[in-house]
């Protein structure tokens, strides 16, 4: 147990949030969890995870077979941060 906050900003500990996905111990169950895990992988430079979770090249074929489904990603409304000038 690391006790550090997850890079995705969920407010949970890394070990209770994205770490199991990045370690290959679990699969994200929602589109948001997948998105958050990909962001955490980016922060930690876990490039293989980013490659593994890319949209597969044959996704249209899988969609036609009904093996994947479309999801709506709903995120809380937040104001866009203003760009900071150095």
Site for Zn ion in 44-83 (CB under 5 A): none
Residues across the chain: 86
Which segments of 4-85 are extended strands (E)? none
| Whole-number Cα distances in Å, 80 to 32, 33, 38, 77, 83 | 19, 21, 21, 9, 9
Among 3, 4, 30, 36, binds Zn ion (CB under 5 A): 36
Among 2, 3, 4, 6, binds Zn ion (CB under 5 A): 6
Nearer of residues 18 and 38 to Zn ion, judged by Cβ: 18
By CB under 5 A, tell whether 18 contacts Zn ion. Answer: yes
Nearer of residues 12 and 68 to Zn ion, judged by Cβ: 12
By CB under 5 A, tell whether 8 contacts Zn ion. Answer: yes
CA angle (71, 31, 24) in 5-degree steps: 140
Answer yes or no: are the C-beta atoms of 40 and 7 closer than 8 Å. yes
- Binding-site residue total for Zn ion (CB under 5 A)? 6
Which spans of this chain sit near Zn ion (rule: CB under 5 A)? 6, 8, 10, 17-18, 36
């Amino acid at each position: 147990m690391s006790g550090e906050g997850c890079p995705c900003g969920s407010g949970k500990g890394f070990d209770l949030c994205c770490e199991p996905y990045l370690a290959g111990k679990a699969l994200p169950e929602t589109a948001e969890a997948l998105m958050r895990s990909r962001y955490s992988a980016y922060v930690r430079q876990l490039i293989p995870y980013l490659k593994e979770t890319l949209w597969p090249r044959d996704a249209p074929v899988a969609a036609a077979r009904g093996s994947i489904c479309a999801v709506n990603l709903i995120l809380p409304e937040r104001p866009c941060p203003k760009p900071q000038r150095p």
